[in-house]
Structure 1
């Protein structure tokens, strides 16, 4: 069924691909897969563009549309491989078939098969970072985080989890620069070929004023607010403060919960991070819960209970409804998805902190070794 769904979706031509991805590919074909990096040519960072450039010599066979779809499919293949590694690190039997089920998730299939987006490319290294965290290979975790950040800024949605883990496990500060070093290493080929470093480092910063909606079809609290008529852009400040506060709380809680940061508890914290950040930050898109979709399924595989199944179903339904709303140009679907996502967030938080009192403060952060 999943294969049939993929085949049926592949002919769909998404608007973003027509406006952005396909012209980028055609530019790489005209200019050459190496010479194209001599100057800025996209509002994406280079790692995804390396893929398009690598496919440029196949333009006579593929064409722009097929190349863009193929790039998205290749990202999904890497995501499946990363999920297999995470499941293996968690000692889950039948890791291969379960990992393949990730590609059958409606939000994953729609993301690549229909929308031709690159979210699988950024989520694959995030999942690899989780696998390294499970194995307590913290330098590898930081490297994978840096790689994810070089692909898309939305990798930062899991940052509270990473920061909390670094503090809880007292990872030496001298290792922390591994993440930015990995990011720079991924950008280096484009820089060496002529793309100005200043431009590379500010690609996403320049997009900050593209729109001022509280939510761009993201299934979060702000989409619900917009559906109720609350659209004042000044609420973005409140959204940022709420996200910062929630992220800081998660970091502090993880520091106080260091002894339990294994297996399902670790996955719950990893899931809660994007649920909180994408759930509270302004200007989120319908695809920004993508990592949560994947982690929720992995959690259900590790701990197969009705509770984890309900969490995974709520997260997946929330994301899928948001994508449906985007395709149908009807924000009500995303608002309904937002209610489900809020419910999933509450369930995960209650699982982690079942007896937390309203005035309960986590233990102070412990000093880190140099």
Structure 2
């Protein structure tokens, strides 16, 4: 699956660079990424599976194939709830009328199809449909090794901070969608990658109850972001280092790296001209 994820990264970067070796370097950057190696080869985790679904979704959005994009997102969501980190991007596409609302039904349809085999083997359908809700209450920690803002808040405030964090996240999603909706700029391929990177980076950063592995989609998107915007390549380095040190599990390093990761998030948001559009002064010049 790591190689499939790398191949899809290659395809996305190839859209930016039809000629040359940069797409190959992007493929190698993914499969040789420290967090990819740690997650799959060393830890035996499956984050690459749902992330591959998200990268496939982004690729199909780039080539304006909304049905395969939503099917890919549905596949990713069927493997892990953290696929929802890309939901802000889909909401933006919805309000900008880049996807049709009725095609969103493909997402739960894929999930229902995915749970049919275990249901036929005897597992209760109610348990299968509500499994993500039961998993959400499994751990009572504000941050489980994730280099985000909750590293600086004592876990004693768990019951108070969790609802605040959830409210903050939902508000931020709708604010982002509103700002993009009000923007007159078109969602080009470059802006799509920019918004996708924001989506998968800010979600695990401001959501409580995150694990270190939940920045995995951001690890991959930051690599794509670096190839699309080479002058901001340092963003990918910061994201990769923050994730890598979180995998090592050293509390002080996880806490410290949450700071540059937060700065990288702020920088990526600040540089998105859909949110801070440049003024076109010709619109204000009187005619005649």
TM-score, with structure 2 as normaliser: 0.88
Matched, 1:153 2:95: no
C-alpha RMSD over aligned residues:
2.0
Determine which of 267, 270, 273 is the counterpart of 1:350.
270
Matched, 1:178 2:106: yes
Please list every run of 5 or more consecutive structure 2 residues that lacks an aligned counterpart in the other structure: 278-288
Contact map agreement 2:85 2:199 (CA 8 A) in 1: yes
Larger Rg: 1
Deviations 1:269-294 (A, max 9, x none): 10111222101111000011111111
C-alpha distance in structure 2 between counterparts of 1:169 and 1:320, whole Å: 38
Offset, 1:230 = 6.1
C-alpha distance in structure 1 between counterparts of 2:119 and 2:2, whole Å: 27
Partner of 1:54: none
C-alpha distance in structure 2 between counterparts of 1:337 and 1:185, whole Å: 40
Partner of 1:332: 252
Offset, 1:133 = 0.7
C-alpha distance in structure 2 between counterparts of 1:264 and 1:180, whole Å: 29
Alignment of 1:218-297 (within 5 A): 218-223=146-151, 225-226=152-153, 229=154, 231-233=156-158, 234-257=160-183, 259-297=185-223
Determine which of 36, 57, 74 is the counterpart of 1:129.
57
Alignment of 1:28-107 (within 5 A): 75-92=1-18, 93-94=20-21, 95-107=23-35
Offset, 1:166 = 2.0
Contact map agreement 1:247 1:276 (CA 8 A) in 2: no
Contact map agreement 2:50 2:80 (CA 8 A) in 1: yes
Partner of 1:116: 44
C-alpha distance in structure 2 between counterparts of 1:189 and 1:278, whole Å: 31
Contact map agreement 1:239 1:281 (CA 8 A) in 2: yes
Contact map agreement 2:6 2:26 (CA 8 A) in 1: no
The residue matched to 1:136 in structure 2 has which SS?
coil
Partner of 2:236: 312
Offset, 1:87 = 2.2
| Bigger Cα displacement from structure 2, 184-193 vs 124-133 | 184-193
Contact map agreement 2:169 2:203 (CA 8 A) in 1: yes
C-alpha distance in structure 2 between counterparts of 1:213 and 1:191, whole Å: 31
1:354/1:199 CA distance change after superposition, 3 Å:
closer
Please list every run of 5 or more consecutive structure 1 residues that lacks an aligned counterpart in the other structure: 1-74, 358-370
1:258/1:149 CA distance change after superposition, 3 Å:
farther
1:85/1:194 CA distance change after superposition, 3 Å:
farther
C-alpha distance in structure 1 between counterparts of 2:12 and 2:77, whole Å: 19
Deviations 1:140-164 (A, max 9, x none): 1111111100000000111111111
Offset, 1:341 = 1.4
Deviations 1:317-347 (A, max 9, x none): 111111112xxxx321211221121011011
C-alpha distance in structure 1 between counterparts of 2:188 and 2:274, whole Å: 18
Partner of 1:67: none
Deviations 1:45-103 (A, max 9, x none): xxxxxxxxxxxxxxxxxxxxxxxxxxxxxx31221122223223444543234212201
C-alpha distance in structure 1 between counterparts of 2:203 and 2:114, whole Å: 25
Offset, 1:295 = 0.7
Contact map agreement 1:103 1:109 (CA 8 A) in 2: yes
Contact map agreement 1:246 1:276 (CA 8 A) in 2: no
Offset, 1:221 = 0.5
Offset, 1:356 = 4.2
Matched, 1:196 2:124: yes
Offset, 1:109 = 1.2
